Amino acid sequence: GNSVTQMEGPVTLSEEAFLTINCTYTATGYPSLFWYVQYPGEGLQLLLKATKADDKGSNKGFEATYRKETTSFHLEKGSVQVSDSAVYFCALIRGSTLGRLYFGRGTQLTVWP
Amino acid sequence: NAGVTQNPKFQVLKTGQSMTLQCAQDMNHNSMYWYRQDPGMGLRLIYYSASEGTTDKGEVPNGYNVSRLNKREFSLRLESAAPSQTSVYFCASSEEPDSYNEQFFGPGTRLTVL
């Protein structure tokens, strides 16, 4: 079946530290991969996406590369800010599942000044 | 342009009561979705509507019903609420039900069933 596994949190970093949140997936065929972010008390927002192997999604200093050989889509940022504190969700869609997103469990990130 | 709106934001029910969660989008999207979010579980799909006039079960449909009232609105009904349905409910929409279109999420409804 289709599933997403994320590194468990919470992750606590100091401002300007390097961030990596690991994400691996299981799916047949060629899924599209997403990172969503949820700020406190809000709904989810799309952070970045990649729709085919070797694509790199990027937004707001965050990056993730679709690695089919390792079935991974790790989220990275070179220098985090306090405003990046949120919950981050990795997710996938396969074209045959009519838009159904499969989510990982989420990783809580807290950045201290 | 409000995006995806949900009502109510908060609700407390007693076991056995019924209620309907409302969702509307103003982006002219064809597809709409209902998810629930539980601690440590990520989001799980309850029901979805790939296009106006169609609805289908997702991963956790038991205890819920949905209505795609028109292209804009997609409601979720709990006929007889149970404590296991205590959760945060998110509605989402996308232009098409495929792997290329972003899903836009509403702000959520926090439901507590006593």
Set of chain B residues whose Cβ sits within 8 Å of the Cβ of A46: 102-104
| Span B105-113, average pLDDT | 95
Q: Per-residue confidence at A95, pLDDT binned at 50, 70, 90?
A: low
Q: Residue written as tokens 């406190």?
A: A40
| Predicted pLDDT of residue A1 | 81
| Predicted pLDDT of residue B66 | 97
User: Is A94 close to B97, i.e. CB distance below 8 A?
Assistant: no
Distance from CA of B40 to the nearest CA of A (A): 5
Q: Which of A33-42, A69-78, B91-100 has the lowest mean pLDDT?
A: B91-100
Residue B10 has pLDDT above 90, yes or no: yes
Give residue ranges of A with CB < 8 Å to any B CB.
Answer: 4, 31-32, 34, 36, 42-46, 49, 51, 89, 93-95, 98-101, 103-106
Q: In a mutagenesis test of the B interface, which of A5, A33, A42, A44 is the best target, namely the one with the most B β-carbons within 10 Å?
A: A44
Which tokens in the block code for residue B82?
């149970």
Secondary structure in 3-state letters for B20-68: EEEEEECCCCCEEEEEEEECCCEEEEEEEECCCCCCEECCCCCCEEEEE
Nearest to B48 among A34, A44, A98 (CB): A98
| Span A14-19, average pLDDT | 97
B39 or A74, which is more confident? A74
Set of chain A residues whose Cβ sits within 8 Å of the Cβ of B56: 98
User: Are A23 and A8 contacting, i.e. CB atoms less than 8 angstroms apart?
Assistant: no
Identity at A4, one-letter amino acid code: V
Residue A96 has pLDDT above 80, yes or no: no
Reported as a single tens digit per residue, the pLDDT across B11-37 is: 999 999 999 999 999 999 999 999 999
Q: Which secondary structure element, helix H or strand E, spans residue A47, and what is its range?
A: strand A44-50
Reported as a single tens digit per residue, the pLDDT across A42-84 is: 889 999 999 999 999 999 999 999 999 999 999 999 999 999 9
Nearest to A94 among B31, B96, B99 (CB): B99
